[in-house]
Each structure stands twice: as structure tokens, then as C-alpha cells.
A = this chain, B = another copy of it.
Amino acid sequence: VILVNGRPAESVDVRDRGLAYGDGVFRTLRTRNAGPLWWRDHYAKLASDCAALLLPCPDEALLHDEVSRVSRADHGIVKIMLTRGPGARGYALPPLQPPTRVVFAAALPAYAEVGAPDDITARWCALRLGRQPRLAGIKHLNRLENVLARAEWDDPAIVEGLVCDEAGSVIGGVMSNLVIVRDSELYTPDLSECGVAGVARQRLLRAAESRGLTVHVEPLSPAAILAADEVMLCNSVMGLRRVAVLDGKHYVPAGWTAILKTVLNDDGD
């Protein structure tokens, strides 16, 4: 079932600004036992992304209820889209109105199924992300860069592609955030100019810091990725995965993925 503004529906108004301009934000979250995981973090991120685009964020209880209504009984995914709603033609903001809410469930992709291997194969993408501090970090609906980067490969054995910005710094995966460990310290790219600052990354950094691990948020070069003791990718759908192969490079497991995976869920749901 798909809910549009709380009611079962299959479609949205053709004048919706989400369609016209990508004027909105979204979340993809994991569900279990007919309810969302990591809900508090997801809602906080949704509210923060809405604020950045001057969008009013729906009430938390309302959204939680809609997510639960569409969730599968066992394991699954729910996607939430919030757009600025229908408007007249033209970029100018329409009068303030509640956003269009779209909430629907989807099956887990193969790489994120329960019991899927922790190890994944990744590659480098040729596309360079543009820098836009006003939109950086936000999970908004302008995702053509991700679409073009993901179109660079169709080998189903490759789960993820790594993308750099125009200066050559590594920003993360097409659909995930990047974390590496070197000499027992954690590093993750600075996302103040591009990329999406996901909830899994945020939980991981918070938990790692609270356990006394040193965390560096800074530009990372491709050479730093190659020299890492362990390279990991994370998002809310697949959790934390170890990169076992990156193009030609094979990484020997260093044990960090298993340690950090437990940490990711320690703050509760």
C-alpha cells in the first residue's frame, strides 16, 4: 500500500513541485515487526532537512503512524517523500501549505537481506560531485548526480560506487556514506560542500566518539582509502558493510566492521 497524505493512492498531482523541481526531501529507512528502526534519528534528520528547504515538517506521531501502517510484518524498507506540494508554474515559493507526504514500503534489496554477507565489492565512479554548500548533507529530491554515477556500472556483483568531488576528495558511495579506520582511528569525509549526511553515519560517529574512539571528519583522498586498514560503507538500509574489493584492490579484514556494527545499534531504535 502507498499512502499519499495519509490515504491509499497510486499517484500525485502533476503540478506537485516535487516533480517539477525536485522540491522536497526523502528518507529510506529499515523496518522490522511493522515499525521503523532508528526512528528518532530519522525524524530528526527529516525535520532538519525540511528546515533547510523552508518546508514545514509533518508531525512526528503522524509520520510514525503512516510508516507503521505500510511496514511489512517482518523485515523491509519504507520510503518517505515530502515535497512542497502543488504549485503554479514558476520557481517562486507557493503560499505556505502542508507538504505532500508519500509513504510506501519496499522489499529489502539482495545486498541488505537478513544474513547477506558483510563483505561487498565496490568500484570508483568517474562522475565528480558538484559543490553546493546550501544543499550539502541534505537528502533532497535533486538526485541526478546519483543517477548518473549509478548508471556507470551494471554488474550486479558490484554493490556500490565511490564518488569524489570536483577537487578529487572522496565523498562517499552513490547511496551510502564512507568510513575508514587507520591506526585505530576513524575517518569519514567532510560533507559540508556535497554528499548526503546519512543517519547510519551519524549514529556510527556518535557511538564511536562516546566509546572513546578518535573520529576525524575531514577531506579524504583516494590514496587514503587505499591505505586504510578497513574501508566501510553504511546506510540505513544495509547497515555497515566492509569493502572487501575496490576495483583491483583486495582488503584483508582487520576486524573493525564487526566491532562497529554492534555499536551502530547500541543507541537503540
Contact = CB atoms under 8 A, between A and B. Distances in A.
Interface stretch (A62-70, A145-153, A247-255): A145-153
B127 A21 contact: no
A212 B129 CA distance: 39
Contact of A142 (B81, B142, B151, B194): B142
B134 A131 contact: no
Interface size class of A (residues with CB under 8 A): 35 or more
A114 to B, nearest CB: 18
Nearest to A149: B91
A22 interface: yes
29 contacts: A11-B12, A11-B13, A11-B14, A12-B19, A14-B104, A17-B147, A19-B83, A19-B102, A19-B141, A21-B142, A22-B142, A23-B143, A53-B144, A77-B89, A90-B109, A90-B150, A91-B146, A91-B174, A92-B151, A93-B150, A93-B151, A127-B134, A130-B135, A134-B148, A135-B144, A135-B148, A140-B144, A141-B144, A142-B142
Interface string A121-142: 0000001011110110000111
Contacts of A81: 19-20
A106 interface: yes
Interface stretch (A2-10, A177-185, A216-224): A2-10
A79 interface: yes
Nearest to A25: B144
A151 to B, nearest CB: 5
Given A14-B9, A77-B89, A150-B93, A143 B102 contact: no
A28 interface: yes
A54 B150 CA distance: 13
Given A89-B106, A92-B150, A92-B151, 9 more contacts: A10-B14, A21-B144, A23-B143, A28-B89, A77-B89, A91-B146, A130-B135, A134-B145, A140-B144
A124 to B, nearest CB: 16
Contacts of A17: 147
